[in-house]
Structure 1
Amino acid sequence: MTVFPTSGTNEARHIASKATVYYNSACPVCNAGICAMQERTASDTGIEWIDVHRNPEALDALGLRLEDVRERLHVVDAEGRMRVGADAVAEALQRVPQGRIFSVLLRLWGVRSLAHLAYNAFARQLYRWNRSKNHW
């Protein structure tokens, strides 16, 4: 994480390295969360948003199945590390100005384990619900 002072202030601002977020817009809950993050980010935050529902071929280079991303959020950071689930949420939130504090909290020891448990349980149920509603 690189921090540079903003011009004319003593505050620091985060310049995030590039990350690619792979999400599924066919899930209304997932899409709402991604849209909220997109609205809060400037175009220079270094996030590339890939909707796998509309661009499933984008997963070929990563060796992922479409069902993997339908069930859990995936983020590839600037170093090429794949983040999945709660870790992917934390990575994406790091690049959202109002989300940085949540990113830090999600990465705390203890909280991270609980976040994984909660995310995985919710993701599994959400995936089943979306399948039952024929969203894909």
Structure 2
Amino acid sequence: MNPTPGVENLIMNLVQWLRLGVEITGACTIGIGSAISLFRFAKALMVGKETDFNAIRLTLARYLALALEFQLGADILSTAVAPSWQEIGKLGAIAVIRTGLNFFLSREMQEEKKVSEGESQVETKAANIS
């Protein structure tokens, strides 16, 4: 049993609106992360003391990783309703690229977190010795 053309158009329109909402959410996530990171960076520069910028980079990286997930979700939604083989191929390529970016971004965040935790432990031990 096939849905009537009116219902099919309604579903397609709803999915397109949902896709747009998810894309906007991803873009806003990037904007918010950039604004927070820029604020923290400017604050560190104004204070004028030597600052480790890894924490700022990690903040931005977390927002970018989340935004990549939203953008991938939007791409999946765009091909969810009656996809063509060309659209499926594009989605596959986009998914591979975005998943790769997210993988390497997540890996870098984990490495930076380990380095930061190690430095924190060294500082704590040095303070206890003094």
Which of the pair is proportionally richer in strand?
Answer: 1
TM-score, normalised to structure 2, is 0.29
Larger radius of gyration: 2
Which of the pair is proportionally richer in helix?
Answer: 2
Which has the higher relative contact order, 1 or 2, with Cα contacts under 8 A spaced 6 or more apart?
2
TM-score, normalised to structure 1, is 0.28
